[in-house]
Amino acid sequence: MNSGTGKTALITGASSGIGQELAKLFAQDGYNLVLVARSDDTLDRLSDVFKSNYGTQNVTIIKKDLSEEDAAQDVYDQVKAKNITVDVLVNDAGVGLYGLFATDTDWEREKAMIHLNVLALTQMTKLFLYDMLARNEGKILNLASLLSIAPSPLMAVYAGTKAYVYNFTQSLVNELKDTNVTVTALLPNATDTDFFNKAGAENTKVTDEVQDPVMVAKDGYDALMAGKPKVVPGGLKNKSYEVISYVAPQEAMAAVMRDKMSQKPEPDQKSSNVAWGIGFGVAVLAGFALVVAYNNTSEYDRARYRYKLKGLGDNLSDLISSAIDTVIDTYQNAKTKVEHVAAKETPEEVLEEIEA
């Protein structure tokens, strides 16, 4: 029997991107689903796919614009009216908005974004968490971002909303530590979904290094199931970004993030830059910004940064040894897989073994 059989997961933002991949994982694990978004036609199609592919028993579709006042209360009331117990809540729905805050971005869109990313997520958590605590059982996954821990010029309000989500979630982790209810923050780096198009940021440098939403959802799902307080998907590179965000001066991080969020160069300039590699360029920029900031700080701040850098060194060595462990595990798994495949006699058996 699958681990989710008989249980229900409610996922906001299930119609696309990371939310849709998360919904698929719950369906594969035998969960019944409550899917929330504005595109109910897409959710209906997903419901059919989950029922036929994974034998999902019950899928409830709630068409809702979560940027509207008290939308979360309405979702909760609809769930209660159907006598559904929500075992897992995933607050995935969210949008971004690109541009200079003072002159480019539209206040009505910003207000709706704050409502969706912050108010709806908080109210959903408040309503469903209360019931989970009464049962002393339940899990919540909140979509934060790597931008939660770095100032992000040109996405200033969006990054502010994600900083809220991360801080809020970590506070709840502490408040819930003596219960069987867990809350997890998922902090993806830029991910290959419709997010950047919708935010008007489709031409920014950061879109050249997007990661796979399937991998992001899987890392989030595993961390949620394990009851971890947070997860940064994407291995060593993204975990290094996380560590650097904690120890680098905020002005330096803002400069790095501004570069990543700036428009891509014109094609001819771009080709001459490609050899450098985006990741390397960002690393050089970060190093430069760090040196400039270091030289301009007081002796007291320098001592503080030296202390933090020592911590960074320790963290990096942990990260490197964990990466080595991962490589060894991956090699062992691949070796075992190849041995199993080699032992098969017919093409059908080989295919079955590869897909297993």
- 99 is a site residue for ligand NAP (CB under 6 A): no
- 190 is a site residue for ligand NAP (CB under 6 A): yes
184, 191, 204, 245: residue in contact with ligand NAP (rule CB under 6 A): 191
Between residues 143 and 290, which has the closer beta carbon with respect to ligand NAP? 143
- 217 is a site residue for ligand NAP (CB under 6 A): no
Between residues 18 and 293, which has the closer beta carbon with respect to ligand NAP? 18
Residue 247: CB atoms within 10 A of its CB come to 17
As measured in angstroms, the least distance from the Cβ of 203 to ligand NAP is 15
As measured in angstroms, the least distance from the Cβ of 19 to ligand NAP is 5
- 10 is a site residue for ligand NAP (CB under 6 A): no
- 93 is a site residue for ligand NAP (CB under 6 A): yes
Residues in the chain, overall count: 356
Please state, in angstroms and rounded to a whole number, the distance separating the CA atoms of residues 356 and 350. Answer: 10
Phi and psi at 182, nearest 5°, equal -120, 155
As measured in angstroms, the least distance from the Cβ of 269 to ligand NAP is 25
Residues 37/12, Cβ–Cβ less than 8 Å = yes
- 89 is a site residue for ligand NAP (CB under 6 A): no
End-to-end CA distance of the chain: 17
158 is catalytic: yes
Phi and psi at 230, nearest 5°, equal -160, 160
- Tell me which of 31, 76, 158, 241 is the catalytic residue: 158
User: CA neighbours within 13 Å on the CB side: how many for 9?
Assistant: 29
| Residue recorded with tokens 């799902």 | 221
Phi and psi at 312, nearest 5°, equal -60, -40
**β-bridge mates for residue 62, sequence order:** 36
Per-position x/- string for 132-151, each x denoting binding to ligand NAP as judged by CB under 6 A, each - no binding? -----------x-x------
Between residues 17 and 160, which has the closer beta carbon with respect to ligand NAP? 17
As measured in angstroms, the least distance from the Cβ of 3 to ligand NAP is 24
**β-bridge mates for residue 142, sequence order:** 91, 185
- 238 is a site residue for ligand NAP (CB under 6 A): no
Please state, in angstroms and rounded to a whole number, the distance separating the CA atoms of residues 264 and 274. Answer: 11
Residues lying near ligand NAP in the complex (CB under 6 A) are found at 12-19, 37-39, 64-67, 92-95, 116, 143, 145, 188, 190-191, 193-195, 198
